[in-house]
Chains A and B, each alone.
Chain A
Amino acid sequence: MKCALFAPALALASLALGLDGDVGIHDPSTIVQSGGKFYTYGTGGSSLVSDDGWTWRRGVTLPRRGLAPDVIHLGGRYYVYVAANIGAQPKAAVNMIWSKSLDPDSPDYKWEEGGVVASSDGIEDSNAIDAGVFLDPTDGKLWLTYGSYFGYIRLVALDPKTGKRLNPTDQPRNIAINGEASDMIYHDGWYYLLVTHGSCCRGADSGYNIRVGRARKVFGPFLDNLGIDMLQGGGKLFVGSGGRVIGPGHFGLLDLGDGVQKFSLHWEADLDRGGASVLDIRPLLWKDGWPAAGENLKEATYEIESVRTGTVLELAVEGVPVGGRVARGRGGRGGGGRGVFEGQGGVIPPQDVAEVSKNWPSGNIDVRMANYMVQAQQKWAITAVSNAGGYPGSPYFKITIAGTDRALATTSDAELVVLPAFTGGPEQLWRMDQLADDTWRIMPKSAPNSNEALVLSAVGSSFATLAKFDPASEKQRWLLKTP
C-alpha cells in the first residue's frame, strides 16, 4: 500500500492513499469488468488487472499496441478502439478489435479484428488517435469521439451490434478543439464531453488537466460554465494537479451502480512513485449540473454525521462535557459572577480519551447517535488496513474510537457494535464510497449471516443500524467532518 506521507505535520492530519500494486500506465482506457476482474489498457497495449479495483498487477498485452485505447462491454463483446501507427501523426487511424472475454484464462478470450472506424489523412484538421467510446443510454446509439490537438475532437456513429463504423460515408462532426483523450458521458438530460487539455508526457512538467463542456444533444454544442463552446477552446476544469500528483488525463467513467460513480485517469507524475505515470480511481461527484472530481477517503479522525438526522455516531457511553461538568446556575468563581457563562478561564484542552475512557465498559459496547458535543466517544479514527483488500479506488478501513483500538463492527443480526479491539475480521472492515453529493456511503466488507450488501443506516435520530442501500434515501448518507 502506498501512502503519500508529505511531512510530519501533515501526516498527523491525514494520509492520502494511492492505488496499490503495479499501477504504472499511460493513457488508460475506461476500466471495465470481465469475469469479476477489473481491466484497463494503455498506450502500447499495456494492461493492468485487479481483482478488487484497489490492488493492481500487470496484465496481458493487447494484440494491437497502439495509442490510448478505449474499451466498452456491449452485447457480450468487449470492443477495444485503439489508434494504429500508420505514419507520422496526424496521419492516424482508430482500429477496433473485440473479444468475448478479457480474461486470458477464459476460453472466450480471443481477439478478432474489426477494422478501421475512423482515420485522418495527415492533412485534414484532425488526428485520429485517443478514442473514446460512448453508449447513449437514452437511445442505445453508440458513438466514438477521437482526436488530439491537431485540429478537432470529432464524433462518429458506430454500430452497437458490431462495434464498427455505422456509416463510413458519414462525415465526422467536429465537437471540440485544443485537447485530446476525449470521452462522453450522459447525466440527467445532458451530454458531457470530457477532454484533456495541456501538455502530456513531460513528467512533473506536464500541464495535463481534464476539462468538460455539456450539451443537450450528442452533437453539441458543448459549452462550458462560462458559455464558451469547446469548439472555441472552452472547457470547465474538472480536475487538475494537486497534492502529490501532477497532470491528470484520460477520463474514464466507472459506474458501479446504485448511483455510485467513479472515474479513472492517469497522473503524468506521481511524486511518491518517482514521478511515474500511474493509474488512479476517484469518486465522481455532481454539483450544480456539472461533474466534479471527488476525493478518496484520507486517513484521519472524523465525526460521522447522518445527513438525515444531523446527529453523529457515538459509542453508547455516558459522555463527559469537554472541560468537565460544571454546575448550572448563578455563582461561579468568586461568587456573584455570571456562573457558567463566565467559563473556567484559560484554554480548555481537547478531551483526553485515555482519561474519560476509564469509565467505559471493557467489553462490547452499543452504538448510538447523538448531537455532536466534541466528546471523545464521538470521534472516529478511520485508518486503512493493509493486506485486507479493497474496492475501486481505496483499501478497506477500520473505524475505531480515536485514541483507542475499540472498533466498529457488524453483528450477526445486522446491527452495530463496538468491539474492545480490532482483530481484522471482515465484519470490522469498512468500505467508504464518496457519493455524487459529496456524502459518504459506509459499507462493511461483509455482515455475518447476510448475503446482502448492507450499509450503515440511520434509524430515527439516535440509532444506527445496517440496511440495504437505497440511493434515494438520506438514511444511508453520511458526512465525514474533521473535528
Chain B
Amino acid sequence: MAVKNTVNIIRMALIFGFGAVSSTVAAGAGDLGPTLTSPASLETAPNADGFIQRWLLLEPIAANGLTDSAVQGAVKKQYFPNQFTVIPHEGDKVTVGAAELTWHAVDTKNYNINLYHFARALGKPTSDVLFWAVTLVNCPREMRDVRLAIGSNAASVWWVNGKEVIGIYGDRQTVIDDGVSKRLTLQKGQNIIRAAVVNGGGATDFCARFLDAADKPIRGLTLTVGQGPK
C-alpha cells in the first residue's frame, strides 16, 4: 500500500493499530531521488505547459500545523537572516536553531517538485516540516495581468518579488492551478519567486507556473538559480 498523505497514514494507524509513524527514511548521499537532478545548464525554460522545473530548495525545517494561522505563523517566523529577500546559491548554508541546512539547486523531470523525494534522498524528515523554495524567473519584457498558479502538498505561501500573493492551507494534495494569485505584473528581467511549503505527513510536493489573462501558460520566460557558493 502506497502512503500518499497524512490522511492515509492516520487511517492506517487507526486500522492496523500501529503507533508512531516515522517519515524519516535514510537514503544514500549524493542523489536527489528519482525525479530530481542537479541542473546541468545555467539557464532553462518552463516546460511546454509552463511549469517551473528549476528551483533552489532548502533542507526541511521542523514545523507543525496546517491551519491558516499555524502556517502563517510558521512561514513568518524568522529562521535565518534575510529569509524573505535572499537569493540563495547552490551549496549555500544557513543555520536554523542548532542545525546547518543547505540550499540545493534542482531540476525536476516532472511538472512538480517532489519534496518527499528530495528530503528522503538527503535523509531528512518529510513530515511536519517546512520547505523553502526559490527560483528566478527572467522576463523578456514587462508582463501585466499575469497570475502565478500553484499547487502544493500540503499548505503553502508564495511571494513574487517580495509580495505575498498566494496562501493555501490545510492538509491538501497538489492540484495544478489550485491556488492562483490576483493579477500581478512580472517586471522585465529578473523576478524572484519564493515559496514556503508546509507538510503534515506523507507525500509532499508542489508545482507552479504563470498564466496569462486567458489562463494560458506564459511563454518566453527563462529560469535561473545560483550555480555555486557566493
Contacts and interface: CB of A to CB of B under 8 A. Distances in A.
Interface of A: 317-318, 328-330, 339, 341, 370, 413-415, 459-463, 465, 475
Interface residues of B, number: 21
Given A329-B14, A414-B183, A460-B149, A318 B175 contact: no
B193 interface: no
B67 to A, nearest CB: 6
Interface string B167-178: 011100001011
A460 B180 contact: yes
Given A460-B177, A461-B175, A462-B178, A415 B68 contact: no
A318, A330, A460, A462: most-surrounded residue (chain B CB, <10 A): A460
Given A329-B10, A329-B13, A459-B147, A415 B69 contact: no
A192 B224 CA distance: 61
Nearest to B10: A328
Contacts, number: 44
B217 to A, nearest CB: 13
Nearest to B184: A413
5 smallest CB-CB distances across A and B, nearest first, come from A460-B180, A318-B68, A460-B177, A463-B180, A459-B180
B179 interface: yes
A409 to B, nearest CB: 15
Nearest to A317: B68
8 contacts: A317-B68, A318-B69, A415-B183, A459-B180, A460-B178, A462-B178, A462-B179, A465-B180
Nearest to B183: A413
Given A317-B68, A413-B183, A461 B10 contact: no
A461 B177 contact: yes
A318 B169 CA distance: 9
Nearest to B169: A318
B182 interface: yes
A465 B211 CA distance: 14
Contact of A415 (B149, B169, B178, B182): B182
A288 to B, nearest CB: 31
B31 interface: no
A329 B21 CA distance: 12
Nearest to B70: A318
Given A330-B14, A415-B183, A461 B178 contact: yes
B215 interface: yes
Contacts of A339: 14
A318 B147 contact: no
Contacts of A370: 170
Given A318-B67, A318-B68, A329-B10, A462 B182 contact: no
A231 to B, nearest CB: 50
B179 A460 contact: yes
A282 to B, nearest CB: 33
Given A459-B147, A461-B177, A413 B13 contact: no
Contacts of B13: 329
Nearest to B13: A329
Contacts of B178: 460-462
A328 B9 CA distance: 12
A370 B168 CA distance: 9
B105 to A, nearest CB: 28
A106 to B, nearest CB: 40
B168 A462 contact: yes
A329 B169 CA distance: 21
A339 to B, nearest CB: 7
Interface in B1-17: 10, 13-14
Contacts of A460: 149, 177-180
